[in-house]
Amino acid sequence: MTERTAETGRRCLAVVLAAGLGSRMKSAHPKVLHNLAGRSMLAHVLATLAEAGVDDVVVVIGPDHESMPREIAAISPHARIAIQHERLGTAHAVLAARDSLAQGYDDLLVVFADTPLIRAETFLAMRSALAEMNIAALVLGFEAQEPSGYGRLLMDGDRLIAIREERDANDEERAVTFCNGGLMALAGDRALPLLEKIGKANEQGEYYLTDIVAVARAEGQDIGVLMVPEEEVMGVNDRIQLARAENVLQRRLRDQAMRAGVTLIDPDSVTLSFDTRFGRDVVIDPFVIFGPGVSIGESVRIKGFSHLEQTEVGPRAIIGPFARLRPGAELEGDVHIGNFVEVKNAKVKAGAKINHLTYIGDADIGAGTNIGAGTITCNYDGFGKFRTEIGAGAFIGSHTALVAPVKIGDGAYVGTGSVITQDVSEDALALARGRQVEKPGWAKTFRDKHIK
């Protein structure tokens, strides 16, 4: 059953157009599945619709998009899918969702999956304007710094007269900088009749959604315009535009983090993910990368050139520099992870220190334990993964190899340079290395033999 949003009290359907081939991306993958800040452009659009309270969604895809249903189901499980079997223009794509359009919605949002920077507030504003103005449709417009390539919005005062594609515009119309943002809101009871009257008498022989303006005006119906910032309706058609969109999204995420109490020493050098979460008083040094699924507690310091993904970091921890926290790393409070340390699928209890040149994988590290430089958990035998368990207050000497599965008891010591293959008891000292042997004079004899 369709939800009524608290903001408008009106039933709304969003049709997300995602059937384009995206040939300019030069990719084997659908254009809208390319990532921005750790998730696909399509996922960004679907998530923004959900944030705006739009629960009824139809995604229009092409017949050759086998990977799209999985992405849609992961982000918006209740979204329906419509297939545009022939790519005959944007109005034709909207009509691929004809069955849903006919269900009697108050508002229809037409959204493009390759326009990922649109905000939830804009969707709400579009719906509010559509209701207040009692119009057939609302178009998003923006003032373009460089209008070349965009359709122009031709106005008569506050009234939209036409959307003129650049190739069809005369010189006077090309001088217009007020441009079409692409997205539209349509009155639900008028949408289907208007869409069905759009023809294809144009150079491309396609049904253009923009022609709905002329169709509505011919019937005496008005079209409204809502102005938004240019970057919000930035479309992505190639890798260059993808990079530009990433820059915009990263700036938004950094600003959001800093407003929430995070210090970014050099914001432009830090890369965030769409879901990065920070506590207060976190300090991030330059050149830190956050992949998806990272949660950082209060008063954490993350030093430069560190990389984190699918990781939880407890309060007051110190990470880096040059640290790598991989999926499944869970760090409690006051943990120290130092330079060139990698942690994967491991739980590190409060106050433990792993400060230098170490790999900890598939492990449990007890509270207050110290892991010496060059320690390795040998967790993989070429076929399976095995776990290392180290108790609280243990001390692992430098250059130690812990061959899993193995357990080190609370308070145990492991001597430097050991290869540990058996469990170590609580409070015991374990040494597993060859006895040192010295042969007097051997080095001089060896040199004399080889140096003439």
Residue 171: CB atoms within 10 Å: 6
Residue type, 365: I
DSSP assigned state of 195: H
Which one, of 308, 398, 388, lies nearest residue 348 by Cα?
A: 388
Question: Is 356 a known active-site residue?
Answer: yes
Residue type, 451: I
The catalytic position among 29, 78, 92, 356 is 356
DSSP assigned state of 136: S
Across 276-295, b (16+ Cβ under 10 Å) vs e yields bebbeebebbebbbbbebbb
Rounded Cα–Cα distance for residues 243 and 241 (Å): 5
The dihedral built from the CA positions of residue 443, 444, 445 and 448, taken in this order, carries a sign that is positive
Helix or strand (DSSP H, E) at 301: strand 301-302
Two structure tokens written together for 421: 């293959």
Rounded Cα–Cα distance for residues 412 and 393 (Å): 8
- For residue 227, which phi and psi values (nearest 5 degrees)? -85, 135
Rounded Cα–Cα distance for residues 273 and 374 (Å): 31
Coil vs helix vs strand at 306? coil
Rounded Cα–Cα distance for residues 368 and 82 (Å): 56
Rounded Cα–Cα distance for residues 331 and 346 (Å): 8
Which one, of 79, 108, 126, lies nearest residue 193 by Cα?
A: 108
The answer to whether the CB of 15 falls within 8 A of the CB of 79 is no
Residue type, 23: S
Helix or strand (DSSP H, E) at 125: helix 120-133
The dihedral built from the CA positions of residue 147, 268, 274 and 289, taken in this order, carries a sign that is positive
Residue count of the chain, please give it: 452
Residues annotated catalytic, as ranges = 356
